[in-house]
Chain A
Amino acid sequence: MRLRLKGGRVLDPANGENGVASGTVRDIEIEDGRIVAATDLRADAEYDLGGDVVMAGGIDLHSHIAGGKMNLARLLMQEDRRAFPEMPGNFCGCGGGRAVPTAHATGCRYAELGYTTVFEPAMVGANARAAHLEMADIPNLDTGAYLVLGNDDYFQRLLAAGAGQEQVNAYVGWMIEATQAFAIKIVNPGGINAFKFNARKMDLDEANPHYAVTPRKVLTTLIRAVTELGLPHPIHLHGCNLGVPGNDETTLATMLATEGRRLHLTHLQFHSYGTEGDKRFSSSAARIAEMVNANPNISVDVGQVMFGQTITASADYMSQYRNRGLASPKKSIGMDIELDAACGVVPFEYKDKSFVNALQWAIGLELFLLVEDPWRIFLTTDHPNGGPFTTYPHLIRLLMDRDFRNAQLATLNKAAQAHTLLAQIKREYSLEEVAILTRAAPARILGLTDKGHLGPGAVADIAVHTEDADREAMFSTTRMVFKNGRLIVKDGVVVELAQGTTHVARPEFDRSVDKDMQRWFDESVGLKSKHFRIADGELRGGAGPTILKCEGVAS
């Protein structure tokens, strides 16, 4: 099957091509789901792009799309589902919802925006099988999941007993394989565990009340583990003290704790708060961005706050419990999970007239605009925690259009306006930079060499947008989206449901750890380790995962 996309302006930063700037158009050729070098062969289908902008399919490296906490969110926020019913048109079981859309709605809405790959960033091991079942029901998207590690009692016990790095590496490798994960996520390192022992806060160098292990030790040990196992994605960190004014110091200290090793700090906006001003809540975005700029080992995503109703769902039960008084509507769920992790689900409405919420919005944008290297910052709202992913087109316009941004800023809480330097920032993102943030850079940091670009050999996940000076309008719809070379969206409407794949990473590890895992599961968890493990055939309705083999490095 050969397709030809004719006469598009190709925007492919990974390969240094910018047809938007040069004004040149060219064809893209696809054979059996992959991009190939141009040929003279007859194509089975041709699509005339008429100079439209062609990019690789979007990649979201941090969006909560599956797993038990999302179902708890759906259960708790039936209002969201009722307010956003099925879209009109051909009924495919699409369901609905906006803050916590159904699996089908997630796949369809993402595809309509030109996204074709999305990673679930907080899969709890005990819940991994369920998360994979749910991901299999998301159409149009390739997925993958980061395993939440570092708060589990097995790991805390290892550290408390002074286990060597080799032993930790074997455990991490075993867990990644057993849960079919792609990367390691740390959520509030050690804090979730400490909360089970009734600690209410946890700083970087504070000792766990039971194990006496510090978050710093959790972080540095796991950073070394993923480095030595050769996982493509660095530790994906949700740091200590989420949402707490004054957490800027923790965040800066966390970056220094890496000692030059790679680290990804997620939803950085929620970790960039100072305590200045009469409200004791201020922006530290400039300080934090400066540190990011100076440390090439650091990458970040923002977790931009977008105004409106949403629901927050996180493994960080310690923080979510602390914030449950702010729930709107007034209800929330919390859960300790299986000697493994936890979760907290709190509905939330970000209000533009609220000082704190307006400043959160500004802090996020400051980070976007002050972090200089577009290859190390990624476009996220931490869906749905800062806002639903469907707000991305609006966010892109905020980044690309200074007048629009300042006009929005002028409508917000007055005190918040006085506490941000946003109005003075002149930077506007270019289309190329947006393509880096949303395609090229995430593919690179995830180690997905055949995604995020349009060169020969790439998976034919392609988004075509008609250029529009109103960037929100431009990115709100797609003229065409191809998934593995199949047209799935035409003129903004999903025309076909494609079955995606799930990316997993497979590191080599010392398999002698299996015996101890069996003992741990038998004695403590009360489950057989072999039943905890997920077989390849359990993924994607029997199709199995797409495996990325990891090459470990010498320790």
Chain B
Amino acid sequence: MAEVQTIHDVACGFCGLGCDDLTVEVEGRQVRAKAPVCPEAARLLRRLDTADPMPRVAGEVIDQADAAKAAHQILAAARAPVIGGLGVDMAGAGAAVDLAIRFGGVLDHYASDGLFRNYAAAQRTGWLSTTLAEVRNRCDVLLVVGDDPAATWGRLFERLFPEKPLFAGSNRRVIFLGGAPGEKTRAQLAGASVVHHATTDAVAALEALGSFTAGRRPPGSCFGGIEADTLAGLAEELRNAHYAVVTWNAADLDDGDLVAERATALVDTLNVTTRAGVFPLGGRDNIIGVNQLLLWRLGYPLRTAVQGQASSHDGTLFATQAALADADVLVWISAFRPEPPPAFGGKIIALAHPETVFDKEPDVLIPVGTPGVDHAGTAFRMDSIVSLPLGALRVATLPSVAEAVRCIAEG
């Protein structure tokens, strides 16, 4: 029997919140997380003592070098590859960009819809934003737009509302504009006063709130199902805040781009007289880190094509789904979780989490280890400022994405 080893202060790279105080038990090949941990992290950290799957080419088990060779041949003959998924640590991201430079290809992350909805504001007009530790200590009025984000970020409110914030005082307010806060959220917000205003149209409500905040009374008595007077009251509260913060999850909102724009405008207005910031939620599977690396390596964010000695960026054309329409090869990389590739008629090379279930057998499958479980790595938090060192919890038996890509490049 292997000894049970307890590891404290484990950093987690899955959801983008960047919790780094997890306790994990490791017993031989087995891994299980203990409190404090959210359900998502517990699920994604869990490992059983099962044998790793082997690399396969066209369904036939093969050794890793031959699988890499087969992938190399497919890429060498490819006309228009897409390098998608990109659930990778920083070393894996660098390797993926190297791969695109070597063979050409469109680079996108599978969870980039929310990011690009936010860019409707961040890139077009710019915005005034803030980071986790600032919200945690300064924010006295938090406006949450959309559904309760706790379903995706299980410990969000626990992190944002500590027992003793430095400056926010004891009378912190949280306003939910959209879905009702769940039980867990209410528990995490026990020290704050919470109000909920259901809305049928968050964009309309937010826009009206922006008008009231700017001292204008928009025509109408009701906006997105919320009474004008209620919104006027909320505007007053925001104006009187020392440090108001607006947060939303653009990936979860069909009109996420409009929410980002209206939230940005609201925060701009507030900053004329007081302080405020936007705090957009996101960051799953190191998307922020991969995007950062693309910006410094290629000068463009995700959804960038490297082709013919140059790269170009188009947030619509080079989104995974659109790019696949013109592609002949998909390199699907997902190391953090068993995210399956989208339906695709061309050849698929998968560098995949060992538990991935495929609808269609990939042409080449190379199972890869998970950063923060099987090998060390770096992943960014959602605010794009802080990044965390992820440690290895057990001895790696699978290659990292960076190692697997290097093998493919060498062919």
Contact = CB atoms under 8 A, between A and B. Distances in A.
Interface of A: 66, 68, 70-71, 74-76, 78, 81, 85-86, 88, 91-93, 95-97, 100-105, 124, 126-127, 129-130, 133-134, 137, 153, 195-198, 210, 321, 327, 330-340, 345, 523-528, 530-531, 534-535, 538
Contacts of B166: 153, 339, 524
Given A333-B127, A334-B126, A526-B136, 19 more contacts: A74-B299, A75-B122, A75-B295, A88-B309, A93-B98, A95-B299, A102-B296, A126-B131, A129-B387, A153-B166, A196-B275, A333-B128, A335-B130, A336-B129, A339-B134, A527-B20, A527-B133, A531-B389, A534-B389
B277 A335 contact: yes
B275 A331 contact: no
Contacts of B293: 133, 137
Interface of B: 9, 11, 18, 20-21, 90, 94, 97-98, 101, 119, 122-134, 136-138, 159, 162, 164, 166-167, 242-243, 271, 274-275, 277, 292-293, 295-301, 309-311, 313, 378, 380, 384-389
A48 B20 CA distance: 57
Nearest to A103: B296
A331 B9 CA distance: 40
Given A137-B297, A198-B274, A78 B123 contact: yes
Contact of B126 (A86, A133, A345, A530): A345
B9 A530 contact: yes
Contacts of A321: 128, 271
B133 A524 contact: yes
B289 to A, nearest CB: 8
**In the complex, which of the residues A95, A102, A130 has the most CB atoms of chain B within 10 Å of its own CB atom?**
A130
A486 B101 CA distance: 25
B378 A538 contact: yes
A102 B386 contact: no
Contacts of A126: 131, 133, 385-386
Contacts of A102: 296-299
B167 A210 contact: yes
B385 A124 contact: yes
B292 A71 contact: yes
A71 B385 contact: no
B129 A334 contact: yes
Given A81-B299, A530-B9, A538 B386 contact: no
Contacts of B11: 528, 531
Contacts of A196: 134, 138, 243, 275
B296 A134 contact: yes
Contact of B311 (A95, A338, A525): A95
A538 B122 CA distance: 30
A92 B310 CA distance: 10
B299 A97 contact: yes
A68 B292 CA distance: 8
B4 to A, nearest CB: 23
Contact of A523 (B90, B164, B309): B164
A526 B133 contact: yes
In the A-B complex, list the 4 residue pairs whose CB atoms are closest, starting with the nearest.
A81-B299, A91-B309, A333-B126, A331-B126
Nearest to B389: A531
Given A153-B166, A535-B389, A71 B295 contact: yes
A126 B136 CA distance: 15
Contacts of B134: 196, 336-339
18 contacts: A66-B296, A75-B123, A76-B122, A81-B300, A91-B101, A95-B299, A130-B380, A133-B293, A137-B94, A153-B137, A195-B275, A196-B134, A196-B138, A333-B126, A336-B129, A338-B133, A524-B166, A531-B20
